[in-house]
Amino acid sequence: MTIPYPSTQPMPTIAAVTPPSGAARPRLTFLGTGYLGATYAICFAELGYEVIGFDVDAEKIAKLAGGEVPFHEPGLDELLKRNLAAGRLRFSTDIAETAVFGDVHFICVGTPQRADGMGADLSYVEAAVTGLSQHLIRKALIVGKSTVPVGTAEWIEQLVGKHAAADLGVEVAWSPEFLQEGFAVEDVLRPNRIVVGVKTEWANGMLYASHKGVFDLAATEDREVPLVVTDFATAELVKVAANAFLATKISFINAMAEVCEVAGGDVTQLARAIGYDPRIGNRFLQAGVGFGGGCLPKDIRAFQARAQELGAGEALRFLHEVDLINLRRRSRVLQLAAELLGRRYGPAGPDLSGTRVAVLGATFKPNSDDVRDAPSLAVAAALSKAGADVHVYDPQGMDNARRERPELSYEASMEDAVRGADLVCVLTEWADFRNADPVALGELASGRRVVDGRNCLDSGLWTQAGWEYRGMGRP
């Protein structure tokens, strides 16, 4: 039965459903315990649900089961230990155990960019859904949370139809995820909205029961969590549309930075001035070295690829430009480096041989250890390729950065990275770097030259301390 949604009512009347396991609240499983799935498993145990986190990565599961979060996310360690101790939370590499346990199974596996194009690689989704379906022994709801091309939920229904016993009546739903790394615990416990794509009242009821802990927490804090109940395609599109909008906003201000650079304007003041208009707003309006991470870059590419397949490629052509603006900002750091170091910038980029460069920041944003498609690390690698001796420091991302870019040198502290450097590039806006003392760092550096790739330093203070300062889109 199709229910007459979309509805943006905060709390539509939803029929109570009994979980197929017979438990009072649905038992939840999260397949894929990466940044998304592990955070969800832990936070939903904290909300009182019985949870299993499943992954094919035995090392990751062993860490989680032992009380260690395998990535950096503020506040998550304590919640993990507490909920393991309470016995509500388990981690497993056993798909049969996971399938038998759960009433609602959330698919949280990765959907990276395909190696052979811009589209999303759905092989992990396929493996997770197929493996799970084969082991189900009663009715269950499979809920997609990974970010996917529109049409994936329908395809998953077909996969389930092929691999699960037909008489079980297994259903599918979609609930996209909006958490931000660095704020993930708060975003999961107190989301600014929940979106569900469903086809039946039963699926809607099960999803409501699976999120009741979130609604109850909100009620105790006198808040409401808006619930948008819609169809599969809209639910899938909400996520990629949101990311496309955010990426566009960042690239818009970075395009303004490019114009400021040739016109002699200051993009930081421009952003502040336009941001006062509430229709524009000042969030995601900081010019800098651009966006990265495991979501925005691959999501805008996959969105274009899917739109092209569906015959709406024209509608998203602007996202190609958004991507190009974003990538151009990385080259801009190299231009500024060449300028400060007095090197020519030729058709193949600058020759920076014989220079030592400190790169502060390896993660794609502060308060995370995620270096996936991080602009900072990409720029560090480009500086190294141009001949510079690059020394990187990041408060949390060192292990991941070392794995990703073993050719770079890594230092144990900001001071060690800066010692002897001819140029310092601040490429991730960690508080440690924003609040660094330019006088003390000036004593360590060989040359007081700084590129502020995030416009996060106090240019006046740095200039007073004798540094030659270059920001992004600033005179």
Ligand X SMILES: NC(=O)c1ccc[n+]([C@@H]2O[C@H](COP(=O)([O-])OP(=O)(O)OC[C@H]3O[C@@H](n4cnc5c(N)ncnc54)[C@H](O)[C@@H]3O)[C@@H](O)[C@H]2O)c1
Which is nearer to ligand X, 240 or 336 (by Cβ)?
240
Interface with ligand X, residue 110, by CB under 6 A: yes
Q: Which of 445, 413, 455, 459 is nearest to 432 (CA)?
A: 413
DSSP 299-345: HHHHHHHHHHHHT-GGGGHHHHHHHHHHHHHHHHHHHHHHHHHT--E
Structure tokens at 454: 């995030």
33 binds ligand X (CB under 6 A): yes
Q: How far is the CB of 275 from ligand X (least distance, A)?
A: 24
The count of residues in the chain is: 475
Q: Mark 54-73 with x for binding to ligand X (rule: CB under 6 A) and - for no binding.
A: xxxx--x-------------
Question: Distance from first CA to last CA of the chain, Å, rounded?
Answer: 61
Contact status: 32 vs ligand X (CB under 6 A): yes
What is the C-alpha R_g of the chain? 24
Q: Which of 260, 295, 425, 456 is catalytic?
A: 295
Active site residue 295: yes
- My answer on whether omega of the bond before 176 falls inside 30° of 0, hence cis, is no
To ligand X, the closest distance from the beta carbon of 342 in angstroms equals 41
Size of the site for ligand X (CB under 6 A): 26
Residue 61 or 334: the one with the smaller Cβ distance to ligand X is 61
Q: In whole angstroms, give the CA distance from residue 283 to residue 293.
A: 18
- When binding is defined by CB under 6 A, the residue of 20, 294, 375, 453 that contacts ligand X is 294
Backbone dihedral region of 130: left (phi > 0), alpha (psi from -120 to 50 degrees) or beta? alpha
Q: How many CA atoms lie within 13 A of 19 on its CB side?
A: 20
- Of 37 and 119, nearer to ligand X (C-beta) is 37
Please give the structure tokens belonging to residue 161: 């139809």
Stretch that binds ligand X, among 41-49, 104-112, 283-291, 373-381 (CB under 6 A): 104-112
Pick one of 17, 36, 42, 386: the residue that binds ligand X (CB under 6 A). Answer: 36
Considering only 33-41, 261-269, 273-281, 343-351, which stretch makes contact with ligand X by CB under 6 A? Answer: 33-41
The answer to the question of residue 111 lying near ligand X (CB under 6 A) is yes
Quick check: 128 binds ligand X (CB under 6 A)?
yes
* Binding region for ligand X (CB under 6 A): 31-37, 54-57, 60, 108-111, 124, 127-128, 146-147, 177, 179, 181, 294-295
For the annotated catalytic residues, the residue numbers are: 295
